Copies of this chain bind each other. A is one copy, B any other.
């Protein structure tokens, strides 16, 4: 059995966390993600861009209180990729408990 492949788009710590946070939600506000990850706007924006580029995340820009706000959500492909990534991680880590 070949080693399961870890998805480089998802593996990066910040993106792994973004995906994990989005998994149980329908969507999350940009600001919320930024606070959860404790990163700057630019860093979060760039990571989200990569996820969007991979087709894993979708954005919804809406106006609230007269201001523009961005919400992010996992696409079906994103949910699938995250699930597969976690499965791969578990297979790799499972060797640790005695192959």
A99 nearest CB neighbor, chain B only: B24
Q: Which of A13-21, A42-50, A51-59, A61-69 contacts B (4 or more CB under 8 A)?
A: A13-21
Whether A96 contacts B24 in the complex (CB less than 8 A), given A11-B13, A13-B11, comes out as yes
- How many residues in A have their beta carbons less than 8 Å from beta carbons of B? 25
Whether A89 contacts B92 in the complex (CB less than 8 A), given A6-B13, A13-B6, comes out as no
Q: Which residues of B contact A21 (CB under 8 A)?
A: 95, 99
CA distance A3 to B13 in the complex (A): 11
Smallest CB separation, A94 vs chain B (Å)? 8
Kindly state whether residue A40 has any CB partner on chain B within 8 Å.
Answer: no
Q: Closest 8 interchain pairs by CB?
A: A23-B96, A24-B98, A20-B95, A20-B96, A6-B13, A20-B92, A86-B93, A17-B92
